[in-house]
Amino acid sequence: MVIKKGFFSWVLFICFWGNSDLSAQQIPALTVTDPIPAYQSFSDSTARKINAFFDYHQRVGDFNGSFLMFCNDSVIYGGRGYAIYSNRDTVEPSKLFQLASVSKVFTAIAIMILHQDGYLNIDDSVHWYLPELNNTDISIRELLSHTSGLPDYFYANYNGWKMPEEQGHMRNEDVIDVINNQSLKKYTRKGFYHYSNTNYVFLSLIVERVSKLSFREYMRQNIARYADMKYSHVCNFDSIPLINYPVQGYNSWNVFDDVLFNGTTGDKGVYSNVFEMLNLDRALRGNYLLHEGTKEEMWTPQTLTNPNAYYALGWRVKWIDGKKWVFHNGWWKGFRTYFWRCLDEDKCFVVLTNNVEGRFLSTIELVSLLN
């Protein structure tokens, strides 16, 4: 059973994401008051180290965003910099950020719920669910583990494909058409790790076809509701333009404009904040969202990504000081994101940034701060 721990009093700028007919042109402001949970504070010395880490990286230009670190029922969180630079609108931890490729963990959870409940098997052929796809020998497991050999649609050859005029963005179904038009030179060796966003677009589409719900609605009903994620949602920029979101993505403080690819889901597109990502961590430590056997299967390494890390099913896996960590990082149009969870200890951290100037943060340093 998921134990609800409400989070703090905050002013949230949110999008009601369960409504596919949403036509508002501006995300409304809503004041939400929740009871403060019974989490403890870190020791003064640890809190100083954590705050000093983020203060330093803000000064050198590597960090602008929000963070939350959790260890054994102690929590620390904060924000640095601006959500919208032109307005000098400061970052608050409650504000929703584009999760970029951290969205893939939600897609994997959605597939594993359907697998757990018997609606599909992850070793099924993708062709059963996407019969219009020319490739007929790919399994769902190979999509989840990036071993399908499919080319990444971001870097595809778009000759011969024309987006329907009535669409503002590319849709998941469009990616099938694009991939069907690619030459064999675009493919990689099947069975070997090759990170491709196409895999997760197709997984999102499989969720829709099996559940008879939009991916946005499936996420709301089957993940967010059970993980107490009230405001996290899959974006819908055709209803609420990107420019109206309260956190914008930047590169050297130049805002990223909307792009064709913002219409696809599964590989990116989830918006959340550090508080609700902690709620997801809490939900995954229980058995209500996913059973123990399902989680173990999801976090079992499938393929080596480098000498010290693996890709499982929607999660990366690494052992640090003998402890197993499962995680995903992300980058998309000004957003860099980090969601790391220790399976052998009750630790996690979430870092969400909205300016990609400078280096990526050292995740090993972040892990060490929780020691």
> Given this model, what pLDDT does residue 310 score?
98
- Give domain status of residue 2, yes or no: no
pLDDT at 228 over 80: yes
Could you tell me if residue 210 is left (phi over 0), alpha (psi between -120 and 50 degrees) or otherwise beta?
alpha
Provide the whole-model pTM: 0.91
- Give domain status of residue 4, yes or no: no
Stretch 235-258: mean pLDDT: 92
Residue 202, both tokens: 């197709």
Task: Write the pLDDT tens digit of every residue in 336-352.
Answer: 999 999 999 999 999 99
pLDDT at 15 over 70: no
Check if the beta carbon of residue 138 is closer than 8 Å to that of residue 228.
no
> Given this model, what pLDDT does residue 30 score?
34
> Given this model, what pLDDT does residue 25 score?
40
Ranked by mean pLDDT, the top range of 9-23, 27-41, 147-161, 340-354 is 340-354
- Give domain status of residue 1, yes or no: no
Which CATH number characterizes residue 332's domain? Answer: 3.40.710.10
- How much of the chain, in percent, has pLDDT values that exceed 70? 89
Task: Write the pLDDT tens digit of every residue in 64-85.
Answer: 999 999 999 999 999 999 999 9
> According to the 3-state scheme, what is the secondary structure of the chain?
CCCCCCCCEEEEECCCCCCCCCCCCCCCEEEEECCCCCCECCCHHHHHHHHHHHHHHHHCCCCCEEEEEEECCEEEEEEECEEEHHHCEECCCCCCEECHHHHHHHHHHHHHHHHHCCCCCCCCEHHHCCCCCCCCCCEHHHHHCCCCCCCCHHHCCCCCCCCCCCCCCCCHHHHHHHHHCCCHHHCCCCCCCCCCHHHHHHHHHHHHHHHCCCHHHHHHHHHHCCCCCCCCEECCCCCCCHHHCCCCCEECCEECCCCHHHHCCCCCCEEECHHHHHHHHHHHCCCCCCCHHHHHHHCCCCEEEECCEEECCCCEEEEECCEEEEEEEEEECCEEEEEEEECCCCEEEEEEECECCCCCCCHHHHHHHCC
Note the Cα 312 to chain centre separation in Å: 15
- Give domain status of residue 265, yes or no: yes
CA pair distance 10, 95, nearest whole angstrom: 9
> Dihedral, CA atoms, 89, 45, 36, 283, nearest 10 degrees?
90
How many structural domains are present in the chain? 1
> Given this model, what pLDDT does residue 37 score?
66
- CA dihedral for 280, 337, 100, 328, sign (positive or negative): negative
Task: Write the pLDDT tens digit of every residue in 169-206.
Answer: 999 999 999 999 999 999 999 999 999 999 999 999 99
* CA distances in angstroms from 299 to 76, 267, 318, 345, listed in the order given: 27, 18, 10, 15
pLDDT at 7 over 70: no
- Give domain status of residue 293, yes or no: yes
Q: If pLDDT is split at 50, 70 and 90, which confidence band does 273 have?
A: very high
Q: Among 18-22, 49-53, 312-316, name the one with the lowest average pLDDT.
A: 18-22
* CA distances in angstroms from 8 to 113, 121, 274, listed in the order given: 29, 39, 12
Stretch 292-298: mean pLDDT: 98
Strands 323-332 and 335-342: antiparallel
| Owning domain of residue 338 | 9-369
> Given this model, what pLDDT does residue 170 score?
94
- Give domain status of residue 183, yes or no: yes
- Give domain status of residue 138, yes or no: yes
- Give domain status of residue 35, yes or no: yes
Q: If pLDDT is split at 50, 70 and 90, which confidence band does 167 have?
A: confident
Task: Write the pLDDT tens digit of every residue in 71-128.
Answer: 999 999 999 999 999 999 999 999 999 999 999 999 999 999 999 999 999 999 999 9
